[in-house]
Chain A
Amino acid sequence: MYEIMGKRNRTNLFAILILGVILALLPLGIRKEFLISIFINIFLYAYLGQCWNILGGYAGYLSLGHTVFFGIGAYASSILFCSFGINPWLGMLSGAILAMLVGIVISYLSFRYGLRGIYFAMITLAFGVIFRVIFTNSEFLGGAQGVLIPLKAPSIAQFQFDGKLGFFYIGLLLVLMSLVITWFISRQKFGYNLLAIKDNEKASEALGIHTNRYKLLATCLSASLTALGGSFYAQYLMYISPETVFSLNLSIEIVLVVIVGGMGTLFGPVLGAFVLIPIGELTRALLKEGAMGMHVIVYGIILIIFCLLLPNGLIPTVQTLFRSRLVKDA
């Protein structure tokens, strides 16, 4: 009698699968390097957006400092590889663990004092800036110069590839993994508790939810996954610096991708990345060197448009259209 809807069925899992297959076949048709690199960029942002979405979209805690975790991931694999010769995959894993520990510290401090909304955004923003300053001034971490990753024999085991196709597929795998993780938690107690916390913390407590614990868990998951993205980025570009991996722009772009696609939705971040990144690349290509940073201005305009017209993002807007039709019919 009670038909279980949406989150419980497997439609979304099939959708993820189909999306994965289509994207995996793309390189057969697209031979141009620069198109592949745009896709890698899209995957990176879709992935980071999805990681952010767990904390920001589901639990409703808007972090403006996800570069902390991203940068830790990037530096962990790079430094371990360059200074100690440790395999980048292992470095990636240790970066995730390190980011999780930092996430615990940040969230423990914030949640203990009941920070939420704009105050949580501010404290995470502050941590982002603090980390950039620390890394810029630590000589043993490469200082402001950053770290250059030397090219060894390219292979999957070394996380290095001839050309871009290897990164295309690893990026795609990361996106699919983040989608499956999000799909999985969204139908569990964990996911429902996060949604409940976002909507109403008081009522959540009254129903027996240890809200601080779930917020902490969400941060840990989000942080460690974000760090994987950082290592991926480092291996892909083979050069990282505090300016790039701890940049405020990146923190904001991650959020933007999710806002455009739809916060707290499964496919929002992916859709957002597919809309925004090509626009950014296009602006860059059209305006060339004459207008450095023009794409950021374009992003700003898009953000204003979305805040005014579609504050919930693309996916919820479409869903609402369907829902209002349903309610009318009923």
Chain B
Amino acid sequence: MLKIENVSKRFGGIQAIREVSAYLKEGEVVGLIGPNGAGKTTLFNLISGFIKPDQGTIDFENRNITGLKPYKICRLGMTRTFQIVEPFKHLTVFENILVGALNKFDKYDVAADRVKEVIDLVGLARVYQRYGMDLNIVESKKLEIAKALSVQPRLLLLDEIMAGLNPTEVKQVTDLIMNLNKENISFLVIEHNMRAIMEISVRIIVLNYGEKIFEGFPSDIMHNKAVVDAYLGDETDA
């Protein structure tokens, strides 16, 4: 479904992403982890079209999407959430979700139906009349997911959607992801919450200093020396 080949991106003197290759099969939930500054969000920005890679190609559903604008990629069926939540502050929750739905479905009535569906799915029914700026962090995070769902993506990139949530709320979000996954939405998930990411991912990719240092099953990750070193520091460092 998603194929990243040999992608690199440099910001001035910093090699943010170095020759990363990865793939995601339809129906998978793949985790993307790594220490702060490892390049996870940069990789998201590359995949979703917000920045262009210096080299390498990105394919989505056998179509080359390298360098396409975000709105085009969204229309092809892939969208994302933002690590720092980006609600439309002066629109209500309903309208926030409506924006995406209107661009997907054009007709107001169809779009409104989709909005109601998404509101119930994500659990924002209580606050659907509130403005984007009046939401607390949990509601904002849910709204991020809801906005992304409004366009009926087949692949959804979630950028630290669980940061700042308490365990109960994390449980709600992981359940939501699992349910959506059953309805054939694939996920690429950046997450610092290890327990959550282990639980939902079938595979995990680990980035460090812009390079892929590990890819494999969640169960193998704790025994991988490169990963442990990246998180806890090399023994020789001490």
What residues make up the interface of A, taking CB atoms closer than 8 Å to B? 1-2, 4-5, 7, 187-189, 192-193, 195-196, 198-200, 202-211, 264, 323, 327
| B100 proximity list for chain A (CB < 8 A) | 207-208
Closest residue on chain A to residue B111 by CB atoms: A189
Instruction: Check A211–B87 contact: CB distance below 8 A.
Output: no
Q: Within 8 Å of chain A (Cβ to Cβ): is B141?
A: no
Instruction: Check A196–B70 contact: CB distance below 8 A.
Output: no
Contact of A199 among B50, B106, B129, B132 (CB under 8 A): B132
Q: List 9 A-B contacts (CB under 8 A).
A: A2-B112, A2-B116, A188-B108, A192-B91, A193-B99, A195-B90, A199-B91, A205-B74, A208-B100
CA distance A118 to B94 in the complex (A): 31
Closest residue on chain B to residue A195 by CB atoms: B91
Q: Within 8 Å of chain A (Cβ to Cβ): is B104?
A: yes
User: Interface extent on B, as a size class?
Assistant: 35 or more
Contact of A202 among B50, B99, B130 (CB under 8 A): B50
Instruction: Check A192–B119 contact: CB distance below 8 A.
Output: no
Instruction: Check B94–A209 contact: CB distance below 8 A.
Output: no
| B128 proximity list for chain A (CB < 8 A) | 2
Q: How many interface contacts (CB-CB < 8 Å) are there between A and B?
A: 99
Contacts A207-B100, A208-B103 given: A5-B129 contact, CB under 8 Å?
Answer: yes
| A187 proximity list for chain B (CB < 8 A) | 108
Instruction: Check B86–A208 contact: CB distance below 8 A.
Output: no
Closest residue on chain A to residue B101 by CB atoms: A207
Instruction: Check B70–A206 contact: CB distance below 8 A.
Output: yes
CA distance A203 to B140 in the complex (A): 13
Residue of A5, A209, A211 with most chain B CB atoms under a 10 A cut-off: A209
Q: Within 8 Å of chain A (Cβ to Cβ): is B66?
A: no
Least CB distance from B107 to A in Å reads 9
| B102 proximity list for chain A (CB < 8 A) | 189, 192-193
